[in-house]
C-alpha cells in the first residue's frame, strides 16, 4: 500500500513539474523586461534587433517556443544561458551542490537550536527560562533570513571581524578544494583544513538561514511537547519512577517530534528558497546567487531551469518527509493514506 | 581514501576553524605584499569578451582588461594610446584602414601575437553568426588582410568612431590558433590573452586569481598576484575592506566612502563617463516646449549633487560631459524657478490647474536614483506638476525604450566611455536609434549627416551645435555626471580612470 502511495506521488510529480514549467515559461516571457532589449547595441537597426531575437529563438510565438523547449527538455537539453553562454544544466550542476550543502548545514543548525530550545522551554514551562526562550523565538522568527544576513555582515564582518562574509572557502584553498560537494568530499577524504574553511565560511550564511526556522521549530516542538507531557502514558511513566530527563526524551519527545518533523520539511523548502537572497548577500556561489543573476539579466533559459530545479527539490523534500513521518509514526505504516 | 576518525575530525575541524577565525580579519594584509585582493562589484559570466551581454557591460571591462589586451588602449583622461596596435588610421579618402601590430607581444601560452590574430579577431567580430553585440560597428569593414605586422581592410561604411570602439566594448584581440584548437568551451575553461595578468583560477560567482604575465609587453604590474572576489552586495564590500579581508573595493555608497576615508583608508571619488539624465518622450504634455523648459529650469542640480549626492556627482547641461570631445562649457541650462513658473503659467498650468503625467525611475540601480527623482518631483510641485512616480526595473526600462513607450519623463544613466558624441548625444537623441526617446525630424536632420562626417573638426562642431539646440529646446534633461568611489587600504595608490576602469595593473604601492 505504501509503495503504491509513493509511486502515485512520484507520478503526480510529472504533471506538477509540467505545470511549473509551463507557468514559469509563460510568465517570464510576458512580464516586462525583454532580454534582447537589454543587449541592443547603440547603433542597432530594426534588422539587427530582429537578428538578435532570432539568435535567441525569441522571434517565434510563445506556444511554439514552449513546444521547442519541451521537445529539447525531454532529451535532456534545457538550453544555453544567454548571460553565461554555457549549457544551463552544467551551470546548475556546478551550483546545486553548493546550495544543498549550505541548506543542509543550515537545517541541521536550525533543528539543533530549535529542538534544544523547544525541549528546554517545554521542560521549564512556567519558569523564567521558558518565557525567555518564547520571547526570543518570537523576535528571531520575526526577523527574515536576509536581515539576519545583514546583521551578521555588520556584526561578524565589521564590528567583531571573526567570520568571513563573502565566498565559499578561503581563496588560498579553493583550487585544492575543487567544486561540487566540497564539504562532503573533504569529510570523506579527511581534508580537515578544507572542512574547517568551508564550515567557517558557512557559519554566517547558515545561521542567517537557520535562525528563523529554528525559532519556528522551537515553538512547534514546545507545543507538541506540552501536549505529550500532559498525556496519560507520560504520567504513567512518571508513576513508574522514570527520571524527568528520561520521561522527557524517551517518552514525550518521540511522539512530539512528528509535527515538528513535518513542519521542518516545509521549512526546509522555504529555507532553500531563502538561499536566493542570503547567497547574494554573502557572495556564496550557489544556485540562489545564480537565480538572482538570471533574473536580473533576464536570462530566460536559466530562470526556467533554476525554477524547475527548485521545484524538483521541493517535491523530493516533501516525499522524503512523508517517508520520515511514516518511519516515526508506527500507526501510519501499512495503512492507507 | 583516509579513514574517518571521529576524534581526529573534531580536533582538526575545531583547530582549523579556530585558526582561520583568528587570522580571518588579517587575511588580505597578511598575504604577501605581492598580492592584491579586490572586492569587485560584479561577477564575470563568461571569459569571451566579445559575445553576450557581459561584453557590453561596462563594469566587467576592467576584469577583461586585466587579462586581454585591446586593439588600442585608453588613458585616464579618455584619450587613446597604443595597445596591441601601435599605429592605426584611414587612408586619405577614408576608404581603407591600416593597422600596425605590435612586434614582440606574446600570448599567455608563450606564442607570439601576430597580424593574423588581429585580422581573425576583426573578422570574427564582424560576423553576425558569432553574436558580437557590437557587430554593427565591426561589420563596417571588409576584405581584412594580414601581411607581416600590417593589417588592412576596406571600409564598407565610414564611421568616425571606428577606432575609438577598438579601445572599448568587444575591442579585444583573441588568439586565433589557441581558440581554434580548444574551441569555445576550452577557451572558457582556460582563457588565454596577452594582457598584464594570466588567469590562474576562476570560480564563477566567487572569485578569480590572476598572476602577472612575465612576458607582458607593457609596464610590469606592481602586484605579482591578484585575487578578485565577486562581492555584489555593497554592504558586504564595505565590510570586506573595513575588516581587512580585501585591500580595495569599488562602488560603495558615498556615506560609506566618507566614513572609511575619515578612518584612514585611502580612496578616490572622481568623475567617470556615466551621467544621470531624464529622457523626455515626444508625447503629451512634452510636446509643449514651454512645459519642457519649465521642467528643466526648475531643477536645482547644484543642490541635487551637493546635498543629495553629497559630492558624488557634478551638474551637467548637455549629454556630453566635461572630458568628452564635444563638450561645450558655454551651453548652459539655467536654474531659474521664476522663469519656470512663468512658462508653466503661460502654458496654462498652475497649482489650481495641475499638470499630471507619469514619471519613471529605477530604484537602487544607480546611487540615489529614486531619491533624485523624488527631489525633482518636489522641485516641480510649485509649478503645478503632480507627477505619478513609477518605479520599474532596468529591464523594463530597456524594453519600453526600445518600443518608444517610456513615460513622458524617465530617469536613466547613460555611459559613454569613449567620450565620443556619437555614443552620447548621437545614439541617445537620434530618432531611428532604438535608444532614443525624443524622436523628431528637426533633430534627426541635424544628427543624420554627422554619422558619416569625414571632417572630424566639422563633426565635433556639428555635435556641439546639436547639443546647443537640444538645450535650447529642452529635448532631454541632463542632470549630473556620476563620480566613482574607490576605497583602498593605507599603503596603496590607485589613480582614477575617466572611463571608470578599476584595473589591478593600475594599483600601486603608495
Q: What is the DSSP string of B119-166?
A: HHHHHHHH-GGGT-TTHHHHTTEEEEEEETTEEEEEESS--TTHHHHT
Q: Compare A80 and B70 and report the one with higher pLDDT.
A: B70
- % chain A with pLDDT above 90: 44
Q: Which residues of A80-115 are buried (b: 16+ CB within 10 A; e: fewer)?
A: bbbbbbbbbbebbebbbbbbbbbbbbbbebbbebbb
pLDDT of A332 reads 65
Å between B383 CA and nearest CA of chain A: 32
Instruction: Take residue A46 and report the three cell numbers written for it.
Output: 530594426
Tell me the β-bridge partners of A47.
none
Residue among B20, B51, B128 whose CB faces A200 most closely: B20
Is the pLDDT confidence value at B15 over 70? no
Can you tell me the mean pLDDT for B122-127? 96
Q: Which of A326-330, B269-273, B365-369, B384-388 has the lowest mean pLDDT?
A: A326-330
Residues near A305 by beta carbon (within 8 Å), at least 6 away in sequence: A78, A79, A88, A89, A91, A92
Is the pLDDT confidence value at A259 over 90? no
Can you tell me the mean pLDDT for A133-147? 93
Residues of B in contact with A154 (CB under 8 A): 235, 239
**Residue A48 to residue B136, Cβ atoms within 8 A:** yes
Q: Which of B472, B428, B434 is nearest to B447 (CA)?
A: B428
Residue among A85, A166, A179 whose CB faces B236 most closely: A166
Helix segments in A124-190, DSSP class H: 128-142, 145-152, 174-177, 182-188
ipTM: 0.81
Is the pLDDT confidence value at B26 over 50? no
Can you tell me the mean pLDDT for B168-182? 96
Q: Compare A34 and A25 and report the one with higher pLDDT.
A: A25
Edge-to-edge strand ranges of the sheet holding B85-90: B85-90, B96-101, B150-155, B141-147
Q: Which of A143, A289, A262 is nearest to B232 (CA)?
A: A289
Q: Is A311 helix (H, G, I), strand (E, B) or coil?
A: helix
Q: Is B32 on the interface with A (CB under 8 A)?
A: no
- % chain B with pLDDT above 90: 84
Residue among B205, B395, B433 whose CB faces A38 most closely: B395
Can you tell me the mean pLDDT for B346-360? 96
**Residue A32 to residue B399, Cβ atoms within 8 A:** yes
Quick check: B238 and B252 in contact, CB under 8 A?
Answer: yes
pTM above 0.90, yes or no: no
Residue among A35, A55, A285 whose CB faces B205 most closely: A285
Quick check: B134 and B172 in contact, CB under 8 A?
Answer: no
Q: What average pLDDT does chain A have?
A: 87
pLDDT band at A257 (very low <50, low <70, confident <90, very high): confident
pLDDT of B3 reads 43
Strand B225-230 relative to strand B35-40, pairing: parallel
Each residue of B276-303: pLDDT tens digit? 999 999 999 999 999 999 999 999 999 9
Is the pLDDT confidence value at B6 over 90? no
CA distance B187 to A205: 33
- Return the residue in B191, B201, B210, B239 with the most chain A beta carbons within 10 A, the one to mutate for interface testing: B239
Each residue of B141-159: pLDDT tens digit? 999 999 999 999 999 999 9
Say if residue A147 is exposed, middle or buried (CB neighbours under 10 Å; 0-12, 13-18, 19+). middle
pLDDT band at A87 (very low <50, low <70, confident <90, very high): very high
- % chain A with pLDDT above 70: 96
pLDDT band at A45 (very low <50, low <70, confident <90, very high): confident
| Helix or strand (DSSP H, E) at B197 | strand B197-203
CA distance A127 to B241: 45
Maximum pairwise Cα distance, chain B: 88
pLDDT of A333 reads 61
pLDDT of A285 reads 93
- Return the residue in B11, B16, B35, B202 with the most chain A beta carbons within 10 A, the one to mutate for interface testing: B16
Each residue of A168-199: pLDDT tens digit? 999 889 888 888 899 999 999 999 999 999 99
**Residue A164 to residue B24, Cβ atoms within 8 A:** yes
**Residue A162 to residue B240, Cβ atoms within 8 A:** no
Q: Is B205 on the interface with A (CB under 8 A)?
A: yes
pLDDT band at B19 (very low <50, low <70, confident <90, very high): very low
pLDDT of B13 reads 45
Residues of A in contact with B402 (CB under 8 A): 34, 37, 40, 49
Can you tell me the mean pLDDT for A274-302? 92
Residue among B19, B205, B229 whose CB faces A289 most closely: B205
Can you tell me the mean pLDDT for B377-389? 96
| Helix or strand (DSSP H, E) at A97 | helix A88-123
Residues of B in contact with A55 (CB under 8 A): 131
pLDDT of A336 reads 46
Residue among A83, A95, A196 whose CB faces B13 most closely: A196
Residues of B in contact with A45 (CB under 8 A): 136, 432
CA distance B297 to B376: 11
pLDDT band at B27 (very low <50, low <70, confident <90, very high): low
Q: Is B21 on the interface with A (CB under 8 A)?
A: yes
CA distance A258 to A327: 10
Residues of B in contact with A196 (CB under 8 A): 12-17, 19-20
Q: Is B402 on the interface with A (CB under 8 A)?
A: yes
Instruction: Take residue B279 and report the three cell numbers written for it.
Output: 529622457
Considering Cα of B181, then B185, then B190, then B193, what sign does the dihedral take? positive
Residues near A35 by beta carbon (within 8 Å), at least 6 away in sequence: A56, A58, A82, A297, A298, A299, A300, B395
Residues of B in contact with A197 (CB under 8 A): 16, 20
Is the pLDDT confidence value at B311 over 80? yes
Instruction: Take residue A112 and report the three cell numbers written for it.
Output: 539543533
Instruction: Take residue A261 and report the three cell numbers written for it.
Output: 518533523
CA distance A311 to A306: 9
Amino acid at each position: 500500500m505504501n509503495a503504491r502511495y509513493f509511486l502515485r506521488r512520484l507520478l503526480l510529480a510529472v504533471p506538477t513539474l509540467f505545470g511549473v514549467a509551463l507557468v514559469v515559461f509563460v510568465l517570464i516571457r510576458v512580464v516586462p523586461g525583454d532580454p534582447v532589449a537589454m543587449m541592443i547595441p547603440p547603433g542597432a537597426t530594426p534588422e539587427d534587433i530582429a537578428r538578435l531575437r532570432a539568435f535567441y529563438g525569441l522571434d517565434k510565438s510563445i506556444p511554439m517556443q514552449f513546444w521547442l523547449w519541451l521537445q529539447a527538455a525531454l532529451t535532456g537539453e534545457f538550453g544555453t544561458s544567454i548571460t553565461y553562454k554555457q549549457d544551463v544544466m552544467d551551470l546548475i550542476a556546478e551550483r546545486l551542490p553548493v546550495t544543498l550543502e549550505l541548506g543542509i548545514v543550515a537545517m541541521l543548525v536550525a533543528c539543533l537550536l530549535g529542538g534544544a530550545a523547544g525541549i528546554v522551554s517545554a521542560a521549564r514551562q512556567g519558569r523564567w527560562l521558558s518565557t525567555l526562550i518564547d520571547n526570543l523565538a518570537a523576535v528571531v522568527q520575526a526577523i527574515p533570513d536576509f536581515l539576519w544576513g545583514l546583521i551578521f555582515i555588520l556584526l561578524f564582518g565589521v564590528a567583531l571581524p571573526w567570520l568571513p562574509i563573502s565566498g565559499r572557502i578561503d581563496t588560498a584553498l579553493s583550487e585544492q578544494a575543487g567544486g561540487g560537494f566540497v564539504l562532503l568530499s573533504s569529510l570523506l577524504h579527511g581534508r580537515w583544513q578544507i572542512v574547517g574553511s568551508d564550515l567557517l565560511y558557512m557559519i554566517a550564511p547558515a545561521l542567517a538561514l537557520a535562525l528563523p526556522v529554528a525559532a519556528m521549530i522551537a515553538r512547534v516542538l514546545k507545543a507538541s511537547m506540552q501536549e505529550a507531557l500532559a498525556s496519560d502514558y507520560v504520567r504513567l511513566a512518571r508513576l513508574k519512577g522514570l527520571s524527568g530527563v528520561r520521561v522527557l526524551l524517551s517518552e514525550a519527545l518521540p511522539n512530539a517530534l512528528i509535527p515538528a518533523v513535518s513542519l521542518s520539511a516545509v521549512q526546509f523548502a522555504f529555507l532553500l528558497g531563502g538561499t536566493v537572497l542570503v547567497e547574494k548577500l554573502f557572495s556564496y556561489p550557489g544556485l540562489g546567487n545564480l537565480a538572482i543573476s538570471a533574473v536580473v539579466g533576464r536570462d530566460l533559459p536559466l530562470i526556467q531551469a533554476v525554477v524547475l530545479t527548485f521545484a524538483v527539490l521541493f517535491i523530493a523534500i516533501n516525499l522524503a518527509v512523508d517517508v520520515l513521518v511514516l518511519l516515526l509514526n508506527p500507526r501510519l505504516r501499512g495503512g492507507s493514506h | 581514501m583516509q579513514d574517518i576518525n571521529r576524534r581526529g575530525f573534531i580536533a582538526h575541524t575545531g583547530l582549523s576553524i579556530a585558526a582561520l577565525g583568528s587570522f580571518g580579519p588579517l587575511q588580505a594584509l597578511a598575504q604577501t605584499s605581492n598580492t592584491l585582493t579586490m572586492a569587485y562589484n560584479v561577477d564575470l559570466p563568461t571569459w569571451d569578451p566579445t559575445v553576450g551581454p557581459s561584453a557590453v557591460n561596462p563594469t566587467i571591462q576592467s576584469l577583461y582588461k586585466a587579462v586581454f589586451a585591446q586593439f588600442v588602449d585608453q588613458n585616464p583622461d579618455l584619450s587613446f594610446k597604443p595597445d596591441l596596435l601601435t599605429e592605426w588610421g584611414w587612408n586619405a579618402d577614408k576608404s581603407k584602414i591600416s593597422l600596425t601590430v605590435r612586434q614582440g607581444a606574446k600570448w599567455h601560452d608563450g606564442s607570439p601575437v601576430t597580424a593574423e590574430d588581429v585580422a581573425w579577431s576583426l573578422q570574427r567580430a564582424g560576423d553576425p553568426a558569432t553574436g558580437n553585440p557590437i557587430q554593427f560597428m565591426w561589420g563596417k569593414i571588409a576584405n581584412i588582410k594580414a601581411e607581416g605586422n600590417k593589417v588592412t581592410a576596406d571600409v564598407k561604411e565610414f564611421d568616425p568612431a571606428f577606432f575609438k570602439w577598438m579601445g572599448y566594448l568587444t575591442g579585444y584581440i583573441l588568439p586565433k590558433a589557441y581558440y581554434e584548437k580548444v574551441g569555445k568551451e576550452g577557451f572558457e575553461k582556460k582563457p588565454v590573452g596577452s594582457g598584464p595578468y594570466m588567469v590562474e583560477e576562476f570560480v564563477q560567482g566567487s572569485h578569480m586569481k590572476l598572476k602577472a604575465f612575465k612576458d607582458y609587453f607593457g609596464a610590469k604590474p606592481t602586484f605579482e598576484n591578484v585575487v578578485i572576489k565577486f562581492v555584489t552586495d555593497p554592504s558586504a564590500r564595505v565590510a570586506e575592506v573595513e575588516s581587512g579581508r580585501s585591500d580595495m573595493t569599488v562602488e560603495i555608497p558615498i556615506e560609506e566612502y566618507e566614513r572609511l576615508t575619515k578612518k584612514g583608508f585611502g580612496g578616490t571619488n572622481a568623475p567617470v563617463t556615466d551621467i544621470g539624465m531624464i529622457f523626455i518622450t515626444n508625447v503629451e504634455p512634452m510636446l509643449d516646449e514651454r512645459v519642457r523648459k519649465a521642467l528643466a529650469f526648475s531643477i536645482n542640480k547644484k543642490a541635487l549633487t551637493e546635498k543629495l549626492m553629497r559630492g558624488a556627482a557634478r551638474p551637467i547641461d548637455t549629454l556630453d560631459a566635461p572630458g568628452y570631445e564635444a563638450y561645450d562649457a558655454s551651453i548652459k541650462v539655467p536654474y531659474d524657478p521664476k522663469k519656470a513658473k512663468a512658462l508653466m503659467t503661460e502654458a496654462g498650468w498652475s497649482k489650481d490647474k495641475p499638470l499630471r503625467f507619469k514619471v519613471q525611475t529605477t530604484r537602487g540601480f544607480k546611487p540615489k536614483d529614486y531619491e533624485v527623482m523624488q527631489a525633482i518631483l518636489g522641485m516641480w510641485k510649485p509649478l503645478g506638476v503632480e507627477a505619478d512616480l513609477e518605479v520599474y526595473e532596468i529591464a523594463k526600462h530597456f524594453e519600453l525604450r526600445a518600443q518608444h513607450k517610456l513615460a513622458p519623463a524617465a530617469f536613466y544613466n547613460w555611459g559613454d566611455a569613449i567620450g565620443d558624441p556619437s555614443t552620447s548625444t548621437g545614439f541617445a537623441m537620434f530618432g531611428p536609434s532604438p535608444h532614443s526617446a525624443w524622436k523628431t525630424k528637426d533633430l534627426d536632420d541635424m544628427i543624420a549627416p554627422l554619422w558619416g562626417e569625414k571632417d572630424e573638426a566639422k563633426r565635433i562642431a556639428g555635435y556641439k551645435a546639436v547639443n546647443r539646440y537640444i538645450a535650447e529646446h529642452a529635448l532631454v534633461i541632463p542632470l549630473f555626471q556620476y563620480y566613482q568611489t574607490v576605497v583602498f587600504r593605507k599603503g596603496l595608490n590607485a589613480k582614477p580612470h575617466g572611463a571608470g576602469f578599476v584595473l589591478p595593473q593600475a594599483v600601486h604601492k603608495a
